[in-house]
Structure 1
Amino acid sequence: MKRRTFLKFGTAAAVGALDAPFVHAQSKKFAGITLRINGYGGLYDETFMKSVGAPLEERYGLKIQFNSGATGSDLIKLIANKDNPPYDMYMADSAVMVELLKAGVIEEIKQADVPNIKRILPGFREYGDYGVPFNVASVIPVYNSKFIKQPLTSYSVLARPDLKSRVVIPAPTQDTASLYLLGLAEENGGSVTNMEPAFQLLTAAKPNIVALAQTNVAEVQIFQSEEAHAGSFWDGRAHELRTKGLPIVTVVPTKGIYSVVIYINIVKGMKHPEAAYALAQQLLSDQGMLGIPQALRYGVTTDVNLPEDLRKDLLFNSSERNALKKKVDWQRWMADRGDRIERVNKIIRG
């Protein structure tokens, strides 16, 4: 069966339009195939399995196997084993995509192979035909309204005098979580090629900073213990804190929001590309797209219709909000990583 013919059947089956015996037989064409994917662990992987893995197994007999681990070590493992890759598909954020492309370990994914690619919103596919974006997470200012009565409005207000000894920010070693630094730069006349305004603002904010969080879990704990009342954090994690009973307010900076997109990629040399296309097609379907946002409140990347209860919790929930997503030069951001880490540590710990 030709590739495009398969996808026509796949799309029709997804909406329950074809029930003929022939189509039912074809729907199990991937029986016996297991796609190995790196995982992020916990609820993320569990939700992915429910909204993507389970429907694919029921429809096509296709199985998914997550090998969850640390992103850095997973990436090293993949690049070091190009001839015998440990994964068939690879999840990566915008920053890691730079490394994948540099290493030449992923394949292009065309709309002809995955028709639902046409549903991806402008600005969310940052690397041409490489990678299928399916989640977006944003680094934003947040604060605890129990203690902070004057609302935060931008990244730069983290230097406000009334926040002395009450701010937590991610450590600069967290490449994407530290995008708040780019926000500080651009809000104050700088850019990814001129980060000096960010470092000056950070110097002014130093009396406010009580902790550099090394991990997301550590930052959650700092907010829960009320050791910090404000800071920069992921929008999905802010929602998590609200579900734990904390009055954490999500700020929408009017000058722009700094976000990272999560992609699924096809690893070069994997043996079952049509099965991978079927997974990407399901991931971009309404069922696949809404799974993780419903569980974790990370944003969507397609034109899916958002249920009202979900819409109110998502940062990107309208065309106006989508327009606030700032474009990031990821190659330059990653190239300057070492200098950025050194400078921030010198300011905060010096």
Structure 2
Amino acid sequence: MTSAFKTTILGVSAIALTAGAALAQDKTLTINSFGGAYEEAHKKCVIGPFEQETGAKVQIVTAYSADAFAQLRAQKEAPQFDVINFSGGQEIVGAAEGLLAPIDAAKLTNAADLYDFAKANLAGGEGPAYSIAAIGLVYNSEKSPKAPSSWKDLLDPAIGEHLVLTDISNGYGMLGFLMLNQVEGGDLTNIQPGLDAVKKLIDGGAVVVSKSPEIQQEFAQNDAWVAPYASDYAFTLRKAGLPAKFVQGTEGTPASYITTNLVANRPNTDLALKFIDISISPAAQACFAEALRYTPTNAKVELAPEVAADVAYGADSVKGLIRFDPKAIEANRAAWVEAWKKTIAQ
């Protein structure tokens, strides 16, 4: 065999290997998910159907929003994620910093069916919201003398020591507090009305917890009646055998948007867009609602009555969703938490 022929064969082999590696890379996506029950639902509702439909493989990095965003920032020049999921508004900052790529809505077959708020800035790089954690009033349907219907019901002295508040270091606790602040006349430039209300509630016997399992403990062991918290946690309490229900406050429902975002400077754009498209499909969103009681953002989702009762379901219900500006929350978080700590310590 001549050296020239050997060189040709080696060259062809190298090209074949390179092409094979590229193909393998093209059929693999790296995403983050949030661990625990959420990640299990993610696999069932989105990842499994995506792998089955495309033949691709999804690599999961378990990371909550803040940690995933920190990784994305640190890896700006060579990001590991193809698709990144957030629940704390990080997509707004990520898009502004060029870490996320704009999305052409025409490339998503399900985008047209999303509520407008869920696709408001695709062209700016903010990925679509594929689920909503709705914050309202979780209550014990057997012990509470009446079903709450308003955020102002939290101030009813009859609830008093049967009320559970969540520390604002908890994301859901923060949103519940900001809603209470709003109905008391405050806004994101003035949280004093909310702090005054919290002081009054604590003086009336309300307890403050920091984590969701403590809410379950209060409902199970300490005669709690009401807690401002997320719709999915009412479902968690029921699964634990507690008679918990969820209701939206008449003044509005704070919303934590769960978004799926296209990472900039990655080679698998078409495959990543397919993953995002499946995430916003009616089937995937119905699956999340059934598994975890998250509010769907696709108008074509159909839910069983018992599931619909636990979420903000349908065009009329989602009109009541309120998104407090994530940038304002992040900018003020440290100061607000400090003010909160002083209030509950008095």
Q: Of 251, 254, 276, which aligns to 2:250?
A: 254
The DSSP-based 3-state class of the residue aligned with 1:336 is helix
Mapped contact 1:94–1:330 kept (Cα < 8 A)? yes
Mapped contact 1:169–1:213 kept (Cα < 8 A)? yes
Residue 75 in structure 1 maps to residue 69 in structure 2:
yes
Match of 1:236? 232
Question: Deviations along 1:51-95, whole A, 9 cap, x unmatched?
Answer: 222222222211112111343323222211211223221100243
Q: Of 264, 277, 283, which aligns to 1:281?
A: 277
Question: Deviations along 1:134-183, whole A, 9 cap, x unmatched?
Answer: 00111112221333213322223323222333222221112344111221
Q: Of 11, 30, 33, which aligns to 2:27?
A: 33
Q: Of 135, 140, 143, which aligns to 1:139?
A: 135
Which has a greater percent of helix? 2
Distance, in Å, in 2 between the alignment partners of 1:286 and 1:346 is 45
TM-score normalised to structure 2 length: 0.85
Distance, in Å, in 1 between the alignment partners of 2:302 and 2:255 is 20
Distance, in Å, in 2 between the alignment partners of 1:103 and 1:137 is 26
The DSSP-based 3-state class of the residue aligned with 1:112 is helix
Distance, in Å, in 1 between the alignment partners of 2:256 and 2:207 is 23
Distance, in Å, in 1 between the alignment partners of 2:197 and 2:209 is 19
Using a 3 Å threshold, how does the CA distance of structure 1 residues 208 and 332 change in structure 2: closer, same or farther? same
> Which residues in structure 2 correspond to 1:113-132 (within 5 Å)?
113-129=107-123, 130-132=126-128
Match of 2:300? 304
Mapped contact 1:31–1:60 kept (Cα < 8 A)? no
Q: How many residues align?
A: 322
Distance, in Å, in 2 between the alignment partners of 1:36 and 1:97 is 17
Match of 1:45? 39
Mapped contact 2:256–2:323 kept (Cα < 8 A)? no
Distance, in Å, in 2 between the alignment partners of 1:118 and 1:262 is 18
Residue 264 in structure 1 maps to residue 265 in structure 2:
no
Using a 3 Å threshold, how does the CA distance of structure 1 residues 267 and 217 change in structure 2: closer, same or farther? farther
Mapped contact 1:175–1:337 kept (Cα < 8 A)? no
TM-score normalised to structure 1 length: 0.84
The DSSP-based 3-state class of the residue aligned with 1:178 is helix
Question: Deviations along 1:16-50, whole A, 9 cap, x unmatched?
Answer: xxxxxxxxxxxxx8886221111111222222222
RMSD of the alignment, in Å? 2.2
Match of 1:25? none
Using a 3 Å threshold, how does the CA distance of structure 1 residues 31 and 122 change in structure 2: closer, same or farther? same
The DSSP-based 3-state class of the residue aligned with 1:344 is helix
Percent sequence identity over aligned pairs: 22
Using a 3 Å threshold, how does the CA distance of structure 1 residues 337 and 38 change in structure 2: closer, same or farther? same
> Which residues in structure 2 correspond to 1:81-230 (within 5 Å)?
81-129=75-123, 130-208=126-204, 210-226=206-222, 228-230=224-226
The alpha-carbon deviation at position 274 of structure 1 amounts to 0.4
Match of 2:312? 316
Distance, in Å, in 1 between the alignment partners of 2:76 and 2:221 is 45
The DSSP-based 3-state class of the residue aligned with 1:222 is helix
Match of 2:53? 59
Distance, in Å, in 1 between the alignment partners of 2:152 and 2:120 is 27
Which letter maps to 2:101? E
Distance, in Å, in 1 between the alignment partners of 2:213 and 2:64 is 14
Distance, in Å, in 2 between the alignment partners of 1:149 and 1:99 is 44
The DSSP-based 3-state class of the residue aligned with 1:106 is coil
Task: Please say which structure displays the higher CA radius of gyration.
Answer: 2
Question: Deviations along 1:248-273, whole A, 9 cap, x unmatched?
Answer: 13222111111111000111122200
The DSSP-based 3-state class of the residue aligned with 2:309 is coil
Using a 3 Å threshold, how does the CA distance of structure 1 residues 307 and 140 change in structure 2: closer, same or farther? closer
Match of 1:9? none
Structure 2 unaligned segments of length 5 or more: list them. Answer: 1-22
Structure 1 unaligned segments of length 5 or more: list them. Answer: 1-28
Mapped contact 2:141–2:245 kept (Cα < 8 A)? yes
Using a 3 Å threshold, how does the CA distance of structure 1 residues 145 and 58 change in structure 2: closer, same or farther? closer
The DSSP-based 3-state class of the residue aligned with 1:281 is helix
